[in-house]
Amino acid sequence: MLEKSTINRVKSLNNKKYRQSEQLFVAEGSKIILELLGSKIQIEQVFATQDWAAKYENRIKANKLVIVTQKELERMSGLKSIPDVLMLAKIPIQKFNASLLSNSLTIALDTIQDPGNLGTIIRTADWFGIKNIVCSQSCADVYNNKTIQASMGSFARVNIFYEDLKTLFSENKFQIFGAVLNGKNISEIKPPQNGILLIGNEGNGISTELIPFITQNISIPKYGEAESLNAAVATSIICAHFIMK
Amino acid sequence: MLEKSTINRVKSLNNKKYRQSEQLFVAEGSKIILELLGSKIQIEQVFATQDWAAKYENRIKANKLVIVTQKELERMSGLKSIPDVLMLAKIPIQKFNASLLSNSLTIALDTIQDPGNLGTIIRTADWFGIKNIVCSQSCADVYNNKTIQASMGSFARVNIFYEDLKTLFSENKFQIFGAVLNGKNISEIKPPQNGILLIGNEGNGISTELIPFITQNISIPKYGEAESLNAAVATSIICAHFIMK
């Protein structure tokens, strides 16, 4: 039987403060965990039901695997539908260097606060082969359970950095495409080979302090009545336009 | 003070069964409700704080407005962040006729189960001027609180029908574009003037029984590693390609 302290430790990682002090995060569900087993992510511990372990234990070092009951998983899980496997893993150390961004398209997120939106954007970036996402410090945390679920394992393949965007844009000369409501129609923009696609907050758009760094305002043309698009949808449509041939 | 029965009635509408028997739904938050006040949606009752009412009561018939405390709203609300206004409204009667779909692009959703995805697709449809969405009976309910929140008022402007898709496709001759993993690159597809964009379930794709009706398999080309795209994102990228000029 699992000790209560173990369950509490897993649950405490729903809180960003504890994730940062322990440098650990939680992933849940067979699909994501099987993806992570083949990735660069370092596993700390896998908690699985007997049934799950019977199928996949050959893919995990024996000393990392703990067999638990469905009931114990229910007590550890942050999800509505209880998974048959849950993993503790190390937060990878990502060293940022602005030169990483010079030869390809990068997404910069300014205060994207919804963890589901952040996860969906990471998944889209991974689909389109975008390697780097730079988040403002005010964005949702990539190791939030909801972000991880929405990103579906893609968070392990895309580099996600948290930087002060104003400093980054002040100290470097980038081509910056800012997604705004009255910019140039993306159909009229030649897809760039490199540069930054800057996406603003769900409700308030791009921060005033970042506006002066935009070298090209861009917009998705509107044909109907909606006031705006979901931030992850807008990012995805622009990425599709910039990447697809 | 609100009677407990009123609070319970509002809360019961989180359940589809009660929404259907009462033909009522709940919307929450100032932004969505202000949009709905100007729409075809028929209001049953608005529960608002004194502060909200002071600003907007001229937009609501006096006999529809009930002033409540923040505490009472908290007891009625299905949201995490308590709104300062909540509305009960009538579910509009939507009469379906297949001829509605003949002259424009329609989205058909096969078992989209996540209410957030459904709401996001409705919002995107409204942005691109797509008037009709046909959902399989197995899709999430449009009057689910999460769908309404994600659609941001767009659910009142887009016609959303629930039909048996197999019957619909058997009895009518449509051009049907099926979003699949190994279809023709959408970049090579001439944007159609009419027809149906068929989107499948988040995990399982398009149902086997609907596959034979597809007249053109289509795909968003992949440049990276993600196994798939979020269903609302995929729908939005294809809509953008089909609609944008």
**Do both B116 and B234 map to the same domain?**
yes
Q: How many angstroms separate the first and last alpha carbons of chain A?
A: 55
**Do both A174 and A117 map to the same domain?**
yes
Burial class (CB in 10 A: 0-12, 13-18, 19+), B68: buried
pLDDT digits (tens, 9 = 90+) for B75-85: 999 888 899 99
Per the prediction, chain A carries an average pLDDT of 95
pLDDT at residue A244 in the model: 94
Counted domains in chain A: 2
Residues of A in contact with B125 (CB under 8 A): 224
Of the three residues B46, B69, B90, the one that is the final residue of a domain is B90
CA–CA gap between residue A239 and residue A179 (Å, rounded): 11
Residues of B in contact with A230 (CB under 8 A): 120, 123-124, 150, 232
What is the percentage of chain B residues whose pLDDT exceeds 70? 100
CB contact under 8 A, A236 and B224: no
pLDDT digits (tens, 9 = 90+) for B122-167: 999 999 999 999 999 999 999 999 999 999 999 999 999 999 999 9
Residues of B in contact with A220 (CB under 8 A): 127, 240, 244
**Do both B24 and B121 map to the same domain?**
no
Of the three residues B90, B108, B131, the one that is the final residue of a domain is B90
pLDDT at residue A78 in the model: 86
| Secondary structure class of A206 (helix, strand, coil) | coil
pLDDT at residue B94 in the model: 86
Residues of B in contact with A35 (CB under 8 A): 227
CATH of the domain at B48: 3.30.1330.30
CA distances from B157 to A107, A174, B136, B137 (A): 32, 40, 20, 21
Per the prediction, chain B carries an average pLDDT of 95
CB contact under 8 A, B123 and A243: no
pLDDT at residue A1 is higher than 80: no
CA–CA gap between residue A33 and residue A59 (Å, rounded): 11
**DSSP alpha helices (H): ranges in A83-127?**
115-127
pLDDT at residue A12 in the model: 94
Residues of B in contact with A241 (CB under 8 A): 240
**Do both B8 and B55 map to the same domain?**
yes
pLDDT at residue B1 in the model: 77
pLDDT at residue A231 is higher than 90: yes
CATH of the domain at A136: 3.40.1280.10
The answer to whether residue B225 neighbours chain A at the CB level (below 8 Å) is yes
pLDDT digits (tens, 9 = 90+) for B14-73: 999 999 999 999 999 999 999 999 898 999 999 999 999 999 999 999 999 999 999 999
Mean pLDDT of A213-227: 97
The answer to whether residue B126 neighbours chain A at the CB level (below 8 Å) is yes
pLDDT digits (tens, 9 = 90+) for A139-156: 999 999 999 999 999 999
ipTM of the complex: 0.95
The answer to whether residue A236 neighbours chain B at the CB level (below 8 Å) is yes
**Do both A86 and A103 map to the same domain?**
no
Residue A179 binned pLDDT confidence (cut-offs 50, 70, 90) = very high
The answer to whether residue B132 neighbours chain A at the CB level (below 8 Å) is no
Structure tokens at A106: 């990068």
**Do both A106 and A210 map to the same domain?**
yes
Domain containing B200 equals: 98-243
pLDDT digits (tens, 9 = 90+) for A27-71: 999 999 999 998 989 999 999 999 999 999 999 999 999 999 999
Give the HSE-up count for residue A205: Cα atoms under 13 Å, Cβ half-sphere: 15
pTM of the model: 0.95
Mean pLDDT of A162-175: 97
| Secondary structure class of B188 (helix, strand, coil) | helix
Look up tokens 């049907």; give the residue: B176
**Do both A123 and A214 map to the same domain?**
yes
CB contact under 8 A, B225 and A157: yes
Q: Is there a contact between A140 and A155 (Cβ–Cβ < 8 Å)?
A: no
Tell me the shortest Cα–Cα distance from B165 to chain A, in angstroms: 26
Of the three residues B90, B124, B155, the one that is the final residue of a domain is B90
**Do both A28 and A140 map to the same domain?**
no
**Do both B176 and B215 map to the same domain?**
yes
pLDDT at residue B66 in the model: 95
**Do both B37 and B68 map to the same domain?**
yes
pLDDT at residue B102 in the model: 87
Residue A237 binned pLDDT confidence (cut-offs 50, 70, 90) = very high
CA–CA gap between residue B78 and residue B87 (Å, rounded): 12
CB contact under 8 A, A240 and B237: yes
**Do both A66 and A110 map to the same domain?**
no
**DSSP alpha helices (H): ranges in A172-230?**
none
Q: How many angstroms separate the first and last alpha carbons of chain B?
A: 55
**Do both B84 and B103 map to the same domain?**
no
Mean pLDDT of B173-190: 96
CA–CA gap between residue B79 and residue B85 (Å, rounded): 12
The answer to whether residue B93 neighbours chain A at the CB level (below 8 Å) is no
Residue A14 binned pLDDT confidence (cut-offs 50, 70, 90) = very high
Residue A9 binned pLDDT confidence (cut-offs 50, 70, 90) = very high
What is the percentage of chain A residues whose pLDDT exceeds 90? 93
The answer to whether residue A237 neighbours chain B at the CB level (below 8 Å) is yes
